[in-house]
Structure 1
Amino acid sequence: MIRQSRAAGAAGLALLLAGCAGAAIPRATPPAASAGVPPITAPRVTQNNALIGHDADAAIGAFGRPRLDVTEGAGRKLQFAGGPCVLDVYYYAPRQGAKPLATHVDARTPDGRDANIDSCIAALRR
């Protein structure tokens, strides 16, 4: 009877220790849910000219067919060129799903020197 009592005690102790050992093994936790791709936001507008805040159709209506029409990521660039200057207009949507609007304009002479944006806009108008 003493043997059975010791065997039962040993079995109980083994079960008790097995329960403690199970908690010491780290369990895999699923990775936190990803927030996904951050929303696309337009660059902050820092210029003020006749093209800023208008869509591409307004520039095409004013200058005709662009020499270049390039889309990269969320942005679009239209390039218009004439005798006195080259004009690059950059478009970004103010919020996701909205129509892209002009947020930045660059002007330069055909040889690459900076040009006055307003003068270039006036020179390229049809």
Structure 2
Amino acid sequence: MAIGLALAAAGCAPITPSGQVGTPAPPTFSIVGLENVMGRTARALESQFGAADLDIREGTARKLQFASQVCVLDAYLYPPGRGDEAVVSYIDARLPDGRDVDRASCVAALSRREEAR
């Protein structure tokens, strides 16, 4: 059984051109169009998008969610150092039905939402 598990696990690892098993590269995410969000504080986000529709805190981490009829943006904030104020380290965006959407497009749509108020 252990051999079967080892073979199954090996089948999931990428094979390099030399035939050796390699480690996959971590995904990279572009921040183009996200300059007004990445590295910002919760206060700055709420100034830009209005009050968050959801605010979840867990320890020093925080998740703010901003939603509209166009998209839903989740901003994950973490303190860069001990005692520092949490800033946006990662964002995720989706359509209201759950399908993925371009993050920069969602940021732009939510910014327009707040301008219309």
Which category of TM-score, normalised to the shorter sequence, fits these structures? 0.5 to 0.7
Identity of aligned residues (%): 44
**Cα deviation 1:11-58 (Å, max 9, x = unaligned):** xxxxxxxxxxxxxxxxxxxxxxxxxxxxxxxxxxx6522211111111
Within the candidate set 81, 89, 105, 1:103 is matched to 89
Q: Which runs of 5+ in 1 are unaligned?
A: 1-45
Within the candidate set 79, 83, 86, 2:72 is matched to 86
Within the candidate set 27, 30, 51, 2:37 is matched to 51
Instruction: Name which one, 1 or 2, has greater alpha-carbon Rg.
Output: 1
- In 2, the alpha carbon distance for the partners of 1:108 and 1:82 equals 11
Structure 1 segment 67-82 matched on structure 2, within 5 A: 67-82=53-68
Kindly provide the amino acid, as one letter, of the partner of residue 121 in structure 1. Answer: V
Is structure 2 residue 50 aligned with structure 1 residue 64? yes
Kindly provide the amino acid, as one letter, of the partner of residue 58 in structure 2. Answer: E
By how many angstroms is 1:74 displaced? 2.1
Kindly provide the amino acid, as one letter, of the partner of residue 55 in structure 1. Answer: T
SS at match of 1:120: helix
- In 2, the alpha carbon distance for the partners of 1:98 and 1:82 equals 30
By how many angstroms is 1:73 displaced? 2.0
Return closer, same or farther for 1:47/1:97 CA change in 2, 3 Å cut-off: farther
The Cα RMSD (Å) is: 1.5
Give the TM-score taking structure 1 as reference length: 0.62
**Cα deviation 1:60-81 (Å, max 9, x = unaligned):** 0011011100001221000000
Matched-pair contact (CA < 8 Å) for 1:47–1:104: no
Which 4+ runs in 1 deviate beyond 2 A? none
Structure 1 segment 3-22 matched on structure 2, within 5 A: none
Is structure 2 residue 109 aligned with structure 1 residue 123? yes
Matched-pair contact (CA < 8 Å) for 1:87–1:107: yes
By how many angstroms is 1:85 displaced? 0.2
